[in-house]
Amino acid sequence: MSRPGEVLTIGYEGTTPDRLIAALKGAEVATLVDVRALANSRRPGFAKGALSAALEAAGIGYLHLRALGTPAAGRAAVRAGRPAEMRRIFAAHLAGDEPQAALANLRDLAGRQRVCVLCLEADPAQCHRTLVAEAVGGGIVHLRP
């Protein structure tokens, strides 16, 4: 079981919904926290509705914290291969009131149950979900489905 405040992270790039859910179940995740600004995907099974339904069927909760998503300019920086720029943009975004409230919600939830933060990128070093997990302030475990 996780330590209080510990946050797991996972990316769905290159995997399937079944493999993602298997990894979450194997790690005993209670709630998947989606930190995509836009919780839609062209990949089958990863749009908000389909993913939340599949998670519910597997006994895993789903929470979308849109305020912890990367702003459009940050997403553009990642697509252009400028992760340092994305980190700068996201850090400025994270300082806002709405993201801070969402972060407090995540921190509280992580203190009560095992949570996993979801975004697209397979490599956590290239994804803002690591920055979110770091901002929670506890330990971080990166899952790979």
Mean pLDDT by 10 residues, the chain (145 residues): 77 97 97 95 94 98 97 93 93 97 97 96 91 94 94
Query: Cα dihedral sign for 77, 47, 39, 58?
Result: negative
Burial class of residue 10 in the structure, from the number of CB atoms within 10 Å of its CB (0-12 exposed, 13-18 middle, 19+ buried): buried
| Sequence-ordered list of residues with C-beta below 8 angstroms from that of 94, at least 6 positions apart, any chain | 68, 100, 103, 131, 132, 135
User: What pLDDT does residue 4 have?
Assistant: 64
Altogether, the residues listed in the chain come to a count of: 145
User: What pLDDT does residue 68 have?
Assistant: 98
Whether the model clears a pTM of 0.85, i.e. scores above it, the answer is yes
User: What pLDDT does residue 1 have?
Assistant: 45
Amino acid type, 26: G
User: What pLDDT does residue 126 have?
Assistant: 85
Radius of gyration for the chain, computed over Cα atoms and rounded to the nearest angstrom: 14
Query: Both tokens of residue 28?
Result: 């005993």
User: What pLDDT does residue 125 have?
Assistant: 87
